[in-house]
Amino acid sequence: MAAAGDGEWQVLKFQPWNSAPDVSFWQQLALLKLNTFQLNDQAQVRERTSLDFKNLDKTAVLRDAGVKILDLVLADGSSAINSIDHLNAFVLVTFADLKKHSFLYWFGFPALSPPTAFTYRAPPTPVSSVLSLQEQVHTLRGLLKLRQVSSTNAVVVANFAPFFVVERLVGGASVDDCVRVLDVQAWRAVEHNADGVVETLFGFVDPCPLKTNPGWPLRNFLALLTALPSEKVDPSRPLKIISFREHVHQFTEVPDDFEWKNSLVFEVKNDHAFMANGRTRQSVRAVGWEANVRGKMGPRMMELGGILDPIRLAETSVDLNLKLMRWRQLPSLDLELIAQTKCLLLGAGTLGCYTARSLLSWGFRNITFVDNSTVSHSNPVRQPLFEFQDVGKPKGEC
């Protein structure tokens, strides 16, 4: 097949991630905050007040996440510090105002900065100019085999490995076994047989639709590749990166004539090792905070009050104060037991009405009144269970 074109070497720029959390995510976060996290502000990371959110050292948060990625990048291939999927890790700092049902949040997608900017041969080339049709088909079949499948019910739990290795084998398109597709972690850890390998390409699932740029996941993948020893990656040759963009998640079998129409190949220079020139771990920076809706560095706001079901919103608000009080003053308070307790009040007069209101404020939900009288004109102003429209009616019906 034809090689990549002799284009001009340019600085490689990456399309950042764009977060789009679903409403159900915030609802679940609110439940976790109320019932699980409570006052604990460790490890998640959430903040208890908007001032805490503002004063949080965001640089340290991203740096700590970057350290974990750097551990993965520099680790011995035989060690399993983290899954290779951790190259796509993200952080989320939130402040949940549960009374207003609003969430202040800031996503970060940590990416390790290289010693010098990556450069690539522009423009990128279509996969069809690098891999034959048969190689494309067999590569996709290999990717399908790398999918994670549940051992209990044989259901696919992940579509594709986010990063993979494609080895072109001797014989090219003339034999069925023209390519070998490997998981990056397995390829990195094991001294597999490289005999008959004509060329090695590195691929990643690319969310970016741009024809000239790859997506953000490639940043950390390039950091890992350029940190590998020369026995694994030849530093004298550019890296050929497959930007996989095909929408084929529904496939169980790949047709023999399936052609990749959206994917690209980026040829990236590999002349600077990631930790070259005595670079220390402490000098490796992590970047990746997401810009807000105005395009500036800052958090975003999600307002849920206007879109939640009014009845559910009222129920949540009633329980909120009890749960907040339980955090600090009554940690042993069993709100579920209270909600299931049945109460019987003899009389629905002034004392009975205010007793019922007090019980409701403490979370009791099952209250039965026994009262055979009718509502008089003076009752509604002193008995909050009744309105003026109820005057003359039996209290048991109101």
**How far is 65 from 87, CA to CA, in rounded Å?**
10
Residue that has been written with the tokens 């004539």 in this structure: 257
Which pTM does this prediction carry?
A: 0.72
Q: What was the pLDDT predicted at 7?
A: 74
Query: 182 phi and psi, to 5 degrees?
Result: -130, 150
Q: Which CA distances in Å does 278 have to 195, 270, 284?
A: 34, 17, 12
The yes-or-no verdict on residue 231 having pLDDT over 50 is yes
CA triple 186-188-191, angle to 5 deg:
85
Q: β-strand 91-97 against 197-205: which pairing, if any?
A: unpaired
* C-alpha distance across the termini of the chain, in Å: 84
The average pLDDT across 112-123 equals 93
- The residue among 12 and 77 whose pLDDT is bigger is 12
Residue 186's pLDDT band, with cuts at 50, 70 and 90, is confident
HSE toward the beta carbon, residue 53, CA cutoff 13 A: 20
Q: Which long-range contacts (CB under 8 A, 24 or more apart) does 69-74 make?
A: 69/110, 69/112, 69/220, 69/223, 69/286, 70/112, 70/281, 70/284, 72/224, 73/112, 73/220, 73/223, 73/224, 73/227, 73/274, 74/227, 74/275, 74/281
Report which secondary-structure segment, H or E, holds 359.
helix 350-361
**How far is 317 from 312, CA to CA, in rounded Å?**
9
The pLDDT tens digits of the residues spanning 369-396 come to 999 888 888 888 888 888 888 888 888 7
- The residue among 60 and 248 whose pLDDT is bigger is 60
Domains of the chain: 120-277 (3.40.140.100), 341-394 (no CATH)
Q: What was the pLDDT predicted at 2?
A: 44
Q: What was the pLDDT predicted at 63?
A: 93
Query: What are the residues facing 240 on neighbouring strands?
Result: 267
The yes-or-no verdict on residue 306 having pLDDT over 70 is no
Provide the phi-psi class of 126: left if phi over 0, else alpha when psi is between -120 and 50, else beta. beta
Write out the DSSP string of 32-50.
HIIIIITT--SSS-EESSH
Answer yes or no: are the C-beta atoms of 303 and 319 closer than 8 Å: no
Q: What was the pLDDT predicted at 240?
A: 96
The pLDDT tens digits of the residues spanning 232-257 come to 888 889 999 999 999 876 666 788 88
